[in-house]
Amino acid sequence: MIKIPPYLKPGNTIGILCPSGYMPYEKAVTAIETLTEWGFQVIPGKTLGSQFHYFSGTDEDRLDDLQAMMDDKNMKAIMCARGGYGMGRIIDKINFKKFIRNPKWIIGFSDITVLQSHIFSQYKIASLHAPMAAAFNDGECINQYVQSLRDALIGRKATYTCEGHAFNKKGKASGILVGGNLSLLAHLTGTSSGLKTKNKILFIEDVGEYIYNIDRMMYQMKRSGKLESLAGLIVGGFTDMKDTNISFGKSAEEVIKDIVKEYDYPVCFNFPVSHNKENYALKIGVEYKLNVKKSIVCLQEM
């Protein structure tokens, strides 16, 4: 049985912190102001604006900040201000006892995939793969992707559409949605945080990788059985991809298409979930319907 954290009501409290990489406090100000305008109270964590080399604090600092928010009964959601790297260093030290009794929405993506994958695989608790603090800046707080986070937090069921793609495989699927950043999903394979994907709709996205790395990670997913029994596959944005001096010879999308071509489930490419602005809020652990047609794709929360 999947545990869905309570949806938020006006006046509820959202914590905002940096459990991985460093982020200057000023880059989160607009997000804090917008969440307040949405009717929520916002409590910044000690790691927001704090810095220890690449990170927002030592492992102990980041663990303590996250643990305090996860344990706080009065906090109904935790927004991770950014990803970066660092969650894998502390995931095994988190005490989830109070969080299991009083689950709350964990908001984020990228490196936060580690935490979201862990709480679903270990405790069957849903979370929100969704825009983080930087997405609110430069007047973008009113765009449909940031607004989809608001809708998700208050319990509105989402219906997202996007245009068809030449690589799409038509078909219908329904199932629990899981996924996140491909690099992290591959990295988690074989750990206690790794996802069981059988009969699930899997979504993947990535940024700044060499194309041969995408090939390697997709083969890691395939060889570990993560791709063979899916209900459906959603391929989001693979942005800022890099090639080697001797070209790999394929785009990231062509790599993925070729690796999953033997499977008969529907596959959607270029879905708006990514490290760019196009990043709809997706509820990991919640059931969705996927309908891939020639000219349009629809993902609907059940």
Both structure tokens of 179: 């996924």
101, 106, 174, 285 from 123: Cα distances, Å: 11, 13, 22, 11
CA gap 62, 258 in Å, rounded: 40
Closest C-alpha among 53, 171, 51, 185 to residue 121: 185
Query: What pLDDT sits at residue 200?
Result: 98
User: pLDDT for 70-80, tens place per residue?
Assistant: 999 999 999 99
Q: What are the residue boundaries of the structural domains of the chain, listed by start?
A: 13-153, 159-301
Length of the chain: 302
Both structure tokens of 216: 């390697």
Closest C-alpha among 77, 50, 53 to residue 64: 50
Both structure tokens of 42: 């916002």
Q: Domain 159-301: which topology?
A: Glucose Oxidase; domain 1 (3.50.30)
User: pLDDT for 134-182, tens place per residue?
Assistant: 999 999 999 999 999 999 999 999 999 999 999 999 999 999 999 999 9
User: pLDDT for 15-32, tens place per residue?
Assistant: 999 999 999 999 999 999
CATH 2.60.40.10 is the classification of domain 13-153: no
pTM attached to this predicted model: 0.98
| Secondary structure letter of residue 110 according to DSSP | G
Query: What pLDDT sits at residue 17?
Result: 98
Collect all residues with Cβ–Cβ distance below 8 Å to 142 and sequence separation of at least 6.
Answer: none
User: pLDDT for 211-266, tens place per residue?
Assistant: 999 999 999 999 999 999 999 999 999 999 999 999 999 999 999 999 999 999 99
Both structure tokens of 44: 């910044």
Equal CATH topology for 13-153 and 159-301: no
The mean of the pLDDT values for the chain is 98
| Phi/psi of residue 49, nearest 5 degrees | 90, -10
Query: What pLDDT sits at residue 233?
Result: 98
Query: What pLDDT sits at residue 149?
Result: 98
